[in-house]
Chains A and B, each alone.
Chain A
């Protein structure tokens, strides 16, 4: 195992990890804001990526506008799911199990709809920043991966600033911490829950768009991303979107190092075995008890 191979694995791990982080942050934001475990979080990624592909290839939109359209599509689907289903079920005091079943059903429905309307073919988006690569000690890094890392870090910092420096972000946090306390402080708790779904949809879609130049997107991608995003969120403490970012990068790195250490066939087995060990040793997530707090 050479240094350049390890370096290559680390870059690949961070790149994949940031995609998992986006899905995990969205999942965590929705769980924190509504106590719904969103089993269709990976589908937001597929919606964002597919919308961008269609706007770019079928409608001829410029790439940045198509990306914006893809992100918007994720956000709108998030809002729709909250308003059409979650809000109604919450009024009826539905249990957490019912919400889980709802989102599993929606994930399968969306996946089937994509298969029906768009087909089973995979689609790729052009890399952001062009096809160029950077060589670091013989390790090859695509420009797109650098963009992905930069956007990932930027989005995480923006999310942190949004949560703590804007009234809407603070209100969303307050509503998720104590709904009654928030309501009697003049915060419309129902509206904040809609916003968390919009945020979850937006983050998931952005993750999907950023990964599509690296992995082709098709109707099956959602489930895989949901599982990875869920692992990332649990690793980070589940109720802390920023913890999910750390969890995503950890997962990506473990997975990537498993490939060079053992075999790509066993990467998921090794990665999830390591994650199980981490969770046994650190049951509150890799950030500890503090990871269960904050945004």
Chain B
């Protein structure tokens, strides 16, 4: 379980996140939606330890990870697919994955949630391009490598920041199928997404962010009514 309580964060003199609280239970899929500049990516960076929280607490599976360095994320069962994927473009697909697998093996001490074969089976295109430099892959293929790399860290909660941005509809569909398959295996998911349609398709509930704060919550079973509420959509998502 991930629990973010009253977290504030920012860059220099600028405060971007104000008193954010959210929770993702084991195996639950939660979306974080909001317009550009709402602070979604800043929140992801804060949860991951790439940005230090100025106040508040972040707790993962009962352990306070507020000050944990980002390279310790996997030890706490957390993996993230950052915005723009942040792969190692000069390295091959295999090298990108081997790095994550090595860390995953240490974390799980051999008791792997996702083996190499399982992960590459989820993404046949990744398996075909194992020896290609990542920078030569298409955006969609890179996104699949990024998800595969995150899974090899053996997380129980996967954070995905804008996984559909800039991808062709067919590729987005393929990625959503994989996410659904992961959910069936009990993987928790925190999905950061501007496209509320996609968020509604694969998550149970959502937090809506605007100007650095959580301004609305979409509870279980409330997605459809939220999507129909033009006033809310216009107010928070632009």
- Give the B-binding residues of A (Cβ under 8 A): 164, 167, 170-171, 173-174, 177-178, 180-189, 293-294
Complex-state Cα separation, A185 to B49, whole angstroms: 12
- Give the A-binding residues of B (Cβ under 8 A): 48-50, 69-75, 79-80, 82, 85-91, 95-96, 98-100, 102-104, 106-107, 133, 149, 153
B91 contacts which chain A residues (CB < 8 A)? 170, 173-174, 177
CB-based contact B89/A183 at 8 Å = no
CB-based contact B86/A187 at 8 Å = no
In the assembled complex, the CB of B106 is this many whole angstroms from the nearest CB of chain A, namely: 8
User: 13 A-B contacts, Cβ less than 8 Å apart?
Assistant: A170-B91, A173-B90, A180-B70, A181-B82, A181-B85, A181-B86, A181-B88, A184-B48, A186-B71, A186-B72, A186-B107, A188-B69, A293-B133
In the assembled complex, the CB of A100 is this many whole angstroms from the nearest CB of chain B, namely: 24
B133 contacts which chain A residues (CB < 8 A)? 293
In the assembled complex, the CB of B77 is this many whole angstroms from the nearest CB of chain A, namely: 12
Complex-state Cα separation, A178 to B84, whole angstroms: 11
Question: For the complex, would chain B's binding face be called helix, strand, loop or mixed by DSSP majority?
Answer: helix
B73 contacts which chain A residues (CB < 8 A)? 184, 186
A177 contacts which chain B residues (CB < 8 A)? 88-91
In the assembled complex, the CB of A210 is this many whole angstroms from the nearest CB of chain B, namely: 29
A174 contacts which chain B residues (CB < 8 A)? 88, 91, 96, 99
CB-based contact B86/A180 at 8 Å = yes
B100 contacts which chain A residues (CB < 8 A)? 185-186
- Given the known interface contacts A174-B91, A177-B91, A189-B71, the answer about A184 and B99 at a Cβ–Cβ threshold of 8 Å is no
A164 contacts which chain B residues (CB < 8 A)? 95
- Given the known interface contacts A180-B82, A185-B103, A186-B153, the answer about A173 and B71 at a Cβ–Cβ threshold of 8 Å is no
CB-based contact B88/A178 at 8 Å = yes
The one of A167, A170, A178, A188 that contacts B71, using a Cβ cutoff of 8 Å = A188
For the complex of A and B, list the 6 residue pairs with the smallest distance between their C-beta atoms, beginning with the closest.
A181-B86, A186-B103, A183-B70, A293-B90, A186-B74, A177-B88
CB-based contact A184/B80 at 8 Å = yes
In the assembled complex, the CB of A37 is this many whole angstroms from the nearest CB of chain B, namely: 20
In the assembled complex, the CB of B131 is this many whole angstroms from the nearest CB of chain A, namely: 12
The one of A167, A185, A294 that contacts B149, using a Cβ cutoff of 8 Å = A185
A293 contacts which chain B residues (CB < 8 A)? 90, 133
In the assembled complex, the CB of A50 is this many whole angstroms from the nearest CB of chain B, namely: 36
Complex-state Cα separation, A293 to B70, whole angstroms: 26
Query: For B90, B91, B133, which residue has the most chain A Cβ atoms within 10 angstroms?
Result: B90
| Residue of B whose beta carbon sits closest to that of A171 | B99
B85 contacts which chain A residues (CB < 8 A)? 181
In the assembled complex, the CB of A281 is this many whole angstroms from the nearest CB of chain B, namely: 25
- Given the known interface contacts A173-B91, A293-B90, the answer about A185 and B98 at a Cβ–Cβ threshold of 8 Å is no
B106 contacts which chain A residues (CB < 8 A)? 186
- Given the known interface contacts A187-B71, A188-B71, the answer about A180 and B50 at a Cβ–Cβ threshold of 8 Å is yes
A187 contacts which chain B residues (CB < 8 A)? 71, 99, 103
CB-based contact B99/A167 at 8 Å = yes
Complex-state Cα separation, A181 to B85, whole angstroms: 8
CB-based contact A173/B69 at 8 Å = no
In the assembled complex, the CB of A238 is this many whole angstroms from the nearest CB of chain B, namely: 14
Query: For B80, B95, B106, B149, which residue has the most chain A Cβ atoms within 10 angstroms?
Result: B95
Query: For B82, B86, B87, which residue has the most chain A Cβ atoms within 10 angstroms?
Result: B86
B98 contacts which chain A residues (CB < 8 A)? 167, 170
B107 contacts which chain A residues (CB < 8 A)? 186
